[in-house]
Structure 1
């Protein structure tokens, strides 16, 4: 209701009494849809009139103190400033405010999507704040408008029957809103006024001169600015009252900003929890199936043993061999890689046996840790439903470490990096193949990210990202990230694996280099055990 005709009229009246004969020194914009007029006074040298041409939030606000930034400024009418402000007027039946200066006119039109600010000077020349397609039509229209002094009382020239409906009234007086109509009907029904016309004029007077209540309507989920005598004013929460419209508008914008931030923060947390719970539920299901299917360590070890004991019948180039399992008497068909040597094929199955033992044990550990994480997030989600305190919401956001930027999330989703979290705060990204390694190291990584790779062995490129790049990474976190790099390399089954690391800014790729190949400088080396550390949570597989 704050930008309906009557409150705009009141705003113009109050501003007229405060700014009449003041001098505007500067007119500029630094923010979309907002125009700033520097109108100092002896008491307030940094006083500004802010005009918002935002269609969803159009207003005039006088601020006692406002400061101009040094950058991103567009100035208006420099050649006509300084200029004395002579007064405010408002169109008799339209949301159009005219501010007269000694050298030009400023016209503020509140018309939904067409809300704009216009400057008129040199007879019929117009300059618009926002682009318009038909300036000549506006000049003609404004010439026909009847502008009045905003201090004049608003009187109805036509009387209405007491049972007259709003739609019929609005044909003559489109400025009469549903709120005004309902309040007038209440005044009539409670016999505070003898006719609907008198009730309307009583309501107009309360809007134009009475105290104003600002608060949040829980039913309609929005901030309201309404006359204190309106019945709804008693039901608003976080409410305050103001004697002037300018003070009321400041309170309204402050409350709206605070509550809007709270609502957006709650939505952000809810979205994060929903996605994370869905992802973790899927992960738990996959881990459960993996554990229930059992370990194939014994099976792979048996195949390796059979190949070793029957080595004499094997030769390079074989794709498959049938051998008798001496423990069961059954014949097993064993797949071989024809490109590998006999020994490499034997080693492959023993390596698969070791990998299976490690992976099965890790799957059990990961299931337990993931289940704990799922239960925790579920408890937070249930708590969030009844939570309304913004400080508590900020605390939850901090606990959940919702810090990843949209770009990082988009890149991660697009390129499907493996994503881990160390100690609940250090992000680790792991490439899956040569192409992803290139993108991760050259495009995705920031200059002060840490880069890891198993030294002298094929493997994934790994990036460690810190929330604060100015702080050095703790030694245990560097070792953890190196262990992950070793785990996703050909050195996975070794007891210890050397891992090179440096800052991402020292990783380069020359034109013509093979996918996954890079050049590094200022290299350091860590000797670590290949593993997924216990303080590590896998966010994306």
Structure 2
């Protein structure tokens, strides 16, 4: 289902139970439009995510790891100023809308108690996170500033008075009413009834309205069906459904009108973590790596264009041997060449004395004409050598950038920092200007760990720094190394001298999954012992050569990757 008013109601119910009277101990803004409050409540730490992302806005507890920026944002600093150590005294949804108010009790600089309201508005591209002084309704800060040129109805800027989003003339379904009785009588068709329910009641997404209509069309007590449907969101059953088109959908209960129940979760937050993990991570990576993607794409385009030009130049130099032949024939029959001639036909003794027409310059002597052909031959011969070298270098550049592009596509947000550093070191990005040159103290992040069915440890590098560290320093010489054949992807290490066939296949599946061929049906994966791997001098990060490999053909499987991932 969509994150509509009903799902928001269910989420607020869950958060109210877990977070009420909890203390805010940490505040971070790891991504541009997302705030994470770590709340200590009921003897546990709860990382509460408030996301104003235009594509995946939501409020939930998240267990997905994140990496904070080196320097906190201004918004994060303001949140720390006002909310650090504060107590959450109320969590309230506004009239079944996608707006949640967290009432927070804190103390100001003078030590006086004051109440603030942290508001999240879950409204697609208009989503926002706003901190408001409850007494004066003054906005203290907002994660996305909205000026008068963007919204004439209300300003969302520090210092402005907070105005609620425009209210819709709809009924809160959780308030006592009998409107549904008349609607069911007037609209016996489920689809039509769903549209009318959506227009009449606040906070119903299209999927919720359809399920609601189905519930109301059951035989029996209509009031009981109405109350039973709404009660689902007071005691939610976090469910993942598989739809008829094989896509998945999250729901707070039994949405049988759409698909079959695939998996049950302990909480709505765990359900959303599972559902959004890949999609939301991709969105975060796109935000963090926007300039990297642009730089790599432009450099790839430039090098591919250069490669085509070099190929054309190489094709043009294939007449070099013909130039040498004409020079030699001219030299042999030099006595027949007269100054002032523009062309001459001589026997080609390399091809059974067939007549060969040779162009001449009437400004040059016979010997100078012959020397000109030899000079052009030597120039093109040298060009062949140069162009051949340039083709190799350009192809290596294309392979490297293609590999980087794949790493960005498969990266977690934490990996982007190291990819950015690598591109800066390689000269693709300009280093940030600092007053003093500081040596980077950042440690290489650790490869992702998996365990084969038989318990064998498998490591997967997610960027070139990890790949080099894993293959060339961490792995033992007797371990096995895997990589997709001639396809950009991760280095995979099986930490075993004699892995089983099943372990090799599972590791090959990981190599295929963490590669550019993730969506392919069959992927060739080379495997060889680490002792047969070496890195050429001057090679770019992540590049190695090997020999004596064998090849497996596998089909990448996300389910298998999930099975091999260690459970926390």
TM-score relative to the length of structure 2: 0.51
Is 1:169 aligned with 2:197? yes
Q: Which residue of 2 aligns with 1:394?
A: 514
Q: Which residue of 1 aligns with 2:99?
A: 96
How far residue 229 of structure 1 moved from its aligned partner, in angstroms, is: 2.1
Q: Is the 1:185–1:199 contact (alpha carbons within 8 Å) kept by the matching residues of 2?
A: no
- Partner Cα separation in structure 1 for residue 184 and residue 85 of structure 2: 52
Q: Is the 1:154–1:204 contact (alpha carbons within 8 Å) kept by the matching residues of 2?
A: no
Q: Which residue of 2 aligns with 1:58?
A: 57
How far residue 180 of structure 1 moved from its aligned partner, in angstroms, is: 2.1
Larger Rg over CA atoms: 1
Q: Which residue of 1 aligns with 2:78?
A: 76
In structure 2, the CA distance between the partners of 1:165 and 1:260, relative to structure 1 (3 Å rule), is same
Counting only pairs closer than 5 Å after superposition, residues 212-227 of structure 1 correspond to structure 2 as 212-214=238-240, 217=243, 219=245, 221=247, 223-227=248-252
Paired residue for 2:360, among 335, 355, 361?
335
- Partner Cα separation in structure 2 for residue 23 and residue 227 of structure 1: 27
How far residue 81 of structure 1 moved from its aligned partner, in angstroms, is: 3.8
How far residue 100 of structure 1 moved from its aligned partner, in angstroms, is: 0.5
Q: Which residue of 2 aligns with 1:124?
A: 137
Paired residue for 2:122, among 72, 96, 110?
110
In structure 2, the CA distance between the partners of 1:131 and 1:214, relative to structure 1 (3 Å rule), is same
Q: Which residue of 1 aligns with 2:540?
A: 466
Q: Is the 2:215–2:225 contact (alpha carbons within 8 Å) kept by the matching residues of 1?
A: yes
Deviation readout 1:306-356 (Å, 9 max, x if unpaired): 2452268566xx6x6332424679683513495x88656424434666899
Q: Is the 1:210–1:243 contact (alpha carbons within 8 Å) kept by the matching residues of 2?
A: no
How far residue 106 of structure 1 moved from its aligned partner, in angstroms, is: 0.9
- Partner Cα separation in structure 2 for residue 468 and residue 19 of structure 1: 45
Is 1:22 aligned with 2:26? no
How far residue 89 of structure 1 moved from its aligned partner, in angstroms, is: 0.8
- Partner Cα separation in structure 1 for residue 513 and residue 193 of structure 2: 45
TM-score relative to the length of structure 1: 0.53
In structure 2, the CA distance between the partners of 1:28 and 1:112, relative to structure 1 (3 Å rule), is same
SS at match of 2:203: coil
In structure 2, the CA distance between the partners of 1:228 and 1:125, relative to structure 1 (3 Å rule), is closer
Q: Is the 1:213–1:233 contact (alpha carbons within 8 Å) kept by the matching residues of 2?
A: no
Deviation readout 1:181-217 (Å, 9 max, x if unpaired): 32234334553x543x654443332244242222564
- Partner Cα separation in structure 2 for residue 181 and residue 145 of structure 1: 17
Counting only pairs closer than 5 Å after superposition, residues 32-431 of structure 1 correspond to structure 2 as 32-41=32-41, 43-44=43-44, 47-63=46-62, 70-74=70-74, 75-77=77-79, 78-79=81-82, 81-102=84-105, 103-121=115-133, 122-129=135-142, 130-133=144-147, 134-135=154-155, 139-141=162-164, 156-159=177-180, 160-162=183-185, 163=188, 165-191=193-219, 193-195=220-222, 198-214=224-240, 217=243, 219=245, 221=247, 223-231=248-256, 234-235=259-260, 239-254=262-277, 256=279, 297=321, 301-302=325-326, 304-310=328-334, 313=337, 321-326=342-347, 332-336=357-361, 343=367, 345-350=369-374, 391-395=511-515, 397=517
- Partner Cα separation in structure 1 for residue 378 and residue 165 of structure 2: 85
- Partner Cα separation in structure 2 for residue 358 and residue 82 of structure 1: 73
- Partner Cα separation in structure 2 for residue 341 and residue 209 of structure 1: 102
Number of residues of Structure 1 aligned to a counterpart in Structure 2: 377
Q: Which runs of 5+ in 1 are unaligned?
A: 262-267, 371-376, 381-388, 402-422, 427-449, 451-463, 475-541
How far residue 301 of structure 1 moved from its aligned partner, in angstroms, is: 1.1
Q: Is the 2:323–2:373 contact (alpha carbons within 8 Å) kept by the matching residues of 1?
A: no
Deviation readout 1:349-405 (Å, 9 max, x if unpaired): 346668999999xx9xx9xxx9xxxxxx9x99xxxxxxxx7752435659999xxxx
Q: CA RMSD in A?
A: 5.8
Q: Which runs of 5+ in 2 are unaligned?
A: 106-114, 148-153, 285-292, 396-483, 488-508, 526-532, 547-568
- Partner Cα separation in structure 1 for residue 168 and residue 118 of structure 2: 15
Q: Is the 1:214–1:251 contact (alpha carbons within 8 Å) kept by the matching residues of 2?
A: no
